[in-house]
């Protein structure tokens, strides 16, 4: 049996961690001296400790680790989880890389003088439109939005109801939340059709006075467009009064306005994409704020 210091030294786990795992019930010492409270560990506990460290390293919380240990999984099952988890982690790494190169964009374009962004903002009325839509909370926006559009286009095509105008997204959140956005993905239709448990058919209200801004490029350019829109709103004495929409005007790799979204939507030549953000605005009452 080992006192905590040696057990720590040989397993490369800090003493504090061992005490913490004891406290959580993850790894109880085989013996605790009732007089002194000293913890004694045995080499019999190495497999369990190794499992704990391995699962923790895979990114599970200690609570999850505890549950996994309780389920008494076979080594094969754990290694299956390991492989799943590894795939997840690799996916995250790819996203991370993408996010990082966005950081570069952000610095290059937004940092010094956003005035150079050459966006034209116009205020115009937007007509009401009948749509088939799905509204839900999404976390990984771009990917999920793509799948939802696909689902809607297939459904609408099956009913031969597609209207000849662009699909769009409504951002219903009134503020930004880290853990996912309340999004409605909408495809215009010509006439009323039956919805189902996922798909709602409804009329999206028209809006008098939407500030509209067309921009080119992929999803990562949306932030820039939004910044430009903010500058315009402030400079012209408006304020927002409703949810933001993002209209996908051109999104096929070949530059045609397609109604079915190929994979190319996500991967190929995003610089050809054309989108428009639309924000309901109203004039600020009273004197325009001084600058």
Partner DNA sequence: TTGCTCCTCACGTCACGTGAGGTGGC
Instruction: Give the interface with a copy of itself as residue ranges (CB under 8 A).
Output: 1-2, 5-6, 8-15, 42-43, 46-47, 50-51, 53-54, 57-58, 75, 78-79, 82, 86, 89, 93, 96, 99-100, 103-104, 106-108, 110-114, 171, 173-178, 223, 226-227, 229-231, 233-235, 239-240, 244, 289
The answer to whether the CB of 116 falls within 8 A of the CB of 140 is no
Among 5, 83, 94, 124, binds DNA (CB under 7 A): 5
Among 6, 88, 90, 120, binds DNA (CB under 7 A): 6
**CA nearest to 278, candidates 110, 148, 135, 123:** 123
Cβ-based nearer residue to a copy of itself, 147 or 177: 177
- Residue 162 makes contact with DNA by CB under 7 A: no
CB 271, min distance to DNA, A: 31
- Residue 20 makes contact with DNA by CB under 7 A: yes
Helical pair 46-57 and 62-70, crossing angle rounded to 10 deg: 130
Cβ-based nearer residue to DNA, 19 or 159: 19
Distant-in-sequence, close-in-space partners of 58: CB < 8 Å, separation ≥ 6: 81, 82, 85, 86
CB 289, min distance to a copy of itself, A: 6
C-alpha 4/C-alpha 12 separation (Å) is 12
CB 178, min distance to DNA, A: 4
**CA nearest to 23, candidates 63, 69, 81, 70:** 63
**CA nearest to 210, candidates 131, 128, 282:** 282
- Residue 118 makes contact with DNA by CB under 7 A: no
Backbone phi, psi, residue 38, to 5°? -60, 135
- Residue 61 makes contact with DNA by CB under 7 A: yes
């Amino acid at each position: 049996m080992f006192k905590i210091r040696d057990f720590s030294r040989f397993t490369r786990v800090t003493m504090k961690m061992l005490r913490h795992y004891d406290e959580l019930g993850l790894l109880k010492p085989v013996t605790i001296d009732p007089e002194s409270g000293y913890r004694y560990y045995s080499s019999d506990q190495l497999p369990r400790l190794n499992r704990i460290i391995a699962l923790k390293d895979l990114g599970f919380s200690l609570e999850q680790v505890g549950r996994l240990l309780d389920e008494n999984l076979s080594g094969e099952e754990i290694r299956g989880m390991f492989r799943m988890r590894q795939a997840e982690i690799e996916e995250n790494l790819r996203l991370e890389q993408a996010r990082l190169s966005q950081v570069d964009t952000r610095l290059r374009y937004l940092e010094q003088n956003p005035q150079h962004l050459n966006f034209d903002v116009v205020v115009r009325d937007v007509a009401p439109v009948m749509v088939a839509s799905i509204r839900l909370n999404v976390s990984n926006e771009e990917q999920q939005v793509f799948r939802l559009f696909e689902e809607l286009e297939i459904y609408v095509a099956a009913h031969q109801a597609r209207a000849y105008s662009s699909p769009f997204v409504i951002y219903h959140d009134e503020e930004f939340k880290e853990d996912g956005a309340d999004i409605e993905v909408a495809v215009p239709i010509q006439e009323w059709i039956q919805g189902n448990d996922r798909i709602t058919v409804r009329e999206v209200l028209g809006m008098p006075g939407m500030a509209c801004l067309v921009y080119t490029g992929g999803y990562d350019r949306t932030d820039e467009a939004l910044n430009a829109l903010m500058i315009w709103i402030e400079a012209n004495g408006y304020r927002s009064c409703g949810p933001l929409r993002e209209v996908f005007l051109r999104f096929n790799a070949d530059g045609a306005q397609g109604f079915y979204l190929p994979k190319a939507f996500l991967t190929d030549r995003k610089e050809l994409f054309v989108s428009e953000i639309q924000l309901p605005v109203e004039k600020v009452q009273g004197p325009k704020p001084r600058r």
